[in-house]
Structure formats: C-alpha cells, structure tokens
Amino acid sequence: MQQLIRTRTGMPSMRSAVLALLAAGLMSGPALAQTGSPSPKPKAKAKTETKSDIKSETKTAKKSLTGAARISNSPLPSYDNDTARRISATMLSYSTLEVRGGWPTLSPDVMKLAPGSSGREVALLRERLAITDDLAPQHAGGDVYDANVTAAIRRFQSRHGLEETGTIGQRTLAALNVPVGRRLRQLAASLDRISAMDFTFGYRYVVVNIPAAVAEAVENGTVARRHAVVVGKKDRPSPTLTTNITAVNLNPTWTVPLGILKKDVRTRMRRDPGYIARMHMRVLDGSGREIDPASVNWNSDGAPNYTVRQDSGTFNALGAVRFDMPNPHSVFMHDTNHREHFGTDYRFQSSGCARTENPRDFAVWLLQGQGDWSRARIDAAIATGQRQDVRLNRKVPVAWVYLTGWVTADNVVHFRDDIYNHDGAPSRALVADLRSPNDPRASGFVLQSADPVRAVSYLDSQ
C-alpha cells in the first residue's frame, strides 16, 4: 500500500517562526552561509545591485551552450516534506551574513585567473568561496589558485546550475557577485510559494522545478530519475500546481489551443492555404466532424466555431508520449518533436507545458508494477501509430514548483535565476488551486485526453 505523507508544506506559523529566528539570529554568533558551517567574516561588502547588472546577467544566461544539458546526478530531491524547514534555517544564516556585510565583490580580473595563478584576486576569490562553504574553512587563507580552489569553483557552479569548469567565466562571475540580500529574497519567495501549496508526498511522486527546468521522479525519498524539461517562455510562463499523473497517452493527438489558433494558424492559412494539410491537421466543427478547410473564413478575426486538431505522428507537437495530469491550466508533461532545446542551458521555450527529455523512460517508471510495460513494449506500442491511453492503477502525485532558492537534505543551498521575475511579487496568486474551477485562466478550447473534457488555456505549441 502506497505510503502517503500529506502536508501543507508551510503554514502561517512557519513564517512567524522564521521571523522570530531571524530576529534572534541578528544578535547571535557568526554568520553561516549554509546551515551548520561557520564561515570567515568578509572584508568587503558586495556592491548594490543595479538594473543594468540584472539585465546583463539575464542576457548572458540566455546564451545556449552546446552539448547535453547539465543535470545533477544527486540522489536528493529538490522538493520534499522537509524543504520548508531547511529553507527557513538557511534564511537565518543568510540574514545574519547580510547584517555582517555580505561577501566581497569580485572584479572581472578573476576571469583571467587559471590554476597556478596567485595574488590578491585569488586571495579574494578564496575568501568569497569560503563564505558560502564551497571552500572548506581551513583552506580559506592563501593566495594560490590550487586544486582546492578548482574544486570549490566546481561546487559553486554545481549549486547554481552552471557548467562545472573549475574556472571563472562570465556567468559564474555574475552568480558569485549576486548580493546576499538578493539570495535571501530568493529563499524567502521560494518559501512563500511552497507554503501556499497543499501537496501529498507519496512514496512515489514527481516534482518539476520550473526555474531549474528539471523534473525529478522520486521514490522512497530518493531521485530515481531526473529529466531535463523545456518549460514556458517568459510571456507564457508555466504555472505552479499540484495534482496527480493519471495516465500515459501513447501517440497522442493535439488540439490547437485558442490563442495559437488565432495568432498562428489563421495567419498562416491566409498566406498558405495548404498549411493545415501539410501539418497533418484537421478542421473540426462544433460536433467534432471534419470539415473542408476551404469552407472556413480564415480572414475573420472573430471567435472561431471550429477547432483544429493535429494527427498522431512524428510531426505532432506533443511527440509520441503525453502524461495526463488534470489541472485548471491544462498544462502537462509530454514528448516533443523539437528535441534540440534539451541540449541547452536555457530551456524556457514552451507555451506553458513541460516538454520532457526521454519521456519513454519516464513512462516506464510511472507504469512500474502495472503489467509488462517495459521500454520495449512502449516502443512497440508507439510503432503501431495507434493512439493508446494507459491509465495508472495508482495515480502519482506531481508538483510543479517555482524554487529559485532551495536546500537539499545534505544542507547544500541551491539557486537558479528568477526567469519569470516572480521573486518580487506576491506568490500565492501564482499557485493553481484545483478547488477553484472558475479560475479565469482556465478558458478556451478542449484538449483530447483520456480524462473527461476540461477547459484549456496554456498549452504547448510548435
């Protein structure tokens, strides 16, 4: 029988306790950059963050890097039933650190350093890395770029989702120079958001951390699988939500959402009447009957009285696998026919859904203990080209979270860029509440699904 831990990951008392701890911590002992480890006092205060700093960092982060996406191999999940407590403890240490002056700002000259270098810039770099426990306290002194410094830089890069080069590049320097106050705000905003979520942590569950663009399949407290995902663009952000994965759809069809129908399909049909046929799409009337695209007035800007559905196949926007997970936003996890984005660090390219790398292996994990749904059987079912909906005998809880700052069970603090600029805004309005069917964002056309018909808004597109 599946073990369940039902928890409201944070309650009003949690924030009150945090505030009390912060007040006490400001008058207490030495600052801690990560929970439980002392760090030396910084000699220089970090510079005040400016709009140009943020703009420059964001622009740099957009640059795609070649090769496979860098995904952690840690067995520890980014979100579990103790995440809120760990974030709260870390907020205490970061608040104390901020009062004591933060960490030193590094000059661009550190990007010229290499193993074997020495001098004042190396000494400052060692101090900066020691403050956040990336460099052990006993190695904080000295002015030589040795193996300890290289390992410390790699650790810092790992915690920030950066390429682990062991040297300082533009993105690593930008992350090193983010003021401690901003890091504290990331932790506080992340705590706020998960405090507003009501999630059932099962023996098996799935978490999608949107800023990290990563999905984790968790089993018995350990990450069994971790997948790169492509999540929503800045103007079509993926929502936070909690629900259950209920089915695996093989060879799904795709019903074009209203926004894409109006903005893209109509526009293309005006220029290219053969677009619908070339994209293996069908036009359906209000009763679901196929009609001739030539009978539609594509020049009209009014509300359409038809839908457009794309057939199953390698050309389909959803790829070969879709994971059904009912929610007010009608977003979901799925395969894609645009896999090139998985090899980049900037994976914010969808219209709200989570395009999932290696979805067939994810499907195997979901269907464990449910007949002989091996990878070979899934491949064979997809090869038939026929749609097949496989309902899960046991629904798997799934949470889409927006954590720009979090702490894993080994007390390592992680940060990611606030891609949607949510950290400065009230977080509770961002959380999808399955008990509010009148959510104004839940309107539009219907997506074909193994579940009963429901409203659709943010869907994925090509």
Whether residue 277 is contained in a domain is answered as yes
Whether residue 16 is contained in a domain is answered as yes
User: How many structural domains is the chain composed of?
Assistant: 2
What integer pLDDT is reported at residue 334 of this predicted model?
95
Whether residue 140 sits in one domain with residue 270 = no
What DSSP letter does each residue of 289-348 carry, written as one string? -EE-GGGS-TT--S--S-EEEEPSSTT-TTTTEEEE---TT---EE--S-GGGGGSS--E
Three-class secondary structure of residue 217 per DSSP: strand
Cα 266–272–277 angle (5° rounding)? 85
Whether residue 99 is contained in a domain is answered as yes
Whether residue 142 is contained in a domain is answered as yes
What integer pLDDT is reported at residue 104 of this predicted model?
96
Whether residue 64 sits in one domain with residue 163 = yes
Whether residue 123 sits in one domain with residue 19 = yes
Whether residue 340 is contained in a domain is answered as no
Whether residue 142 sits in one domain with residue 21 = yes
Is the Cβ–Cβ distance between 45 and 102 less than 8 Å? yes
Whether residue 192 is contained in a domain is answered as no
What integer pLDDT is reported at residue 35 of this predicted model?
43
Which residues are designated catalytic?
A: 334, 353
Whether residue 149 sits in one domain with residue 38 = yes
Of the candidates 128, 163, 184, which is a domain's last residue?
184
Whether residue 149 sits in one domain with residue 62 = yes
Whether residue 123 sits in one domain with residue 15 = yes
Whether residue 283 sits in one domain with residue 134 = no
Of the candidates 164, 184, 204, which is a domain's last residue?
184
Q: Between the CA atoms of 258, 262, 263 and 266, what dihedral angle is there, to the nearest 10 degrees?
A: 130
Whether residue 109 sits in one domain with residue 19 = yes
What integer pLDDT is reported at residue 339 of this predicted model?
73
Boundaries of domain holding 305: 258-309
Whether residue 288 sits in one domain with residue 176 = no
Whether residue 159 sits in one domain with residue 16 = yes
Whether residue 281 is contained in a domain is answered as yes
Write the CA distances from 206 to 52, 215, 343, integer angstroms: 37, 7, 22
Of the candidates 167, 184, 201, which is a domain's last residue?
184
**Mean pLDDT in each 10-residue stretch from start to end of the chain (462 residues)?**
43 46 41 39 36 38 42 93 96 95 96 95 97 96 96 97 95 97 96 94 96 97 96 92 97 85 90 94 93 93 91 89 92 84 76 93 96 94 95 97 97 96 64 36 30 34 35
Whether residue 197 is contained in a domain is answered as no
What integer pLDDT is reported at residue 196 of this predicted model?
93
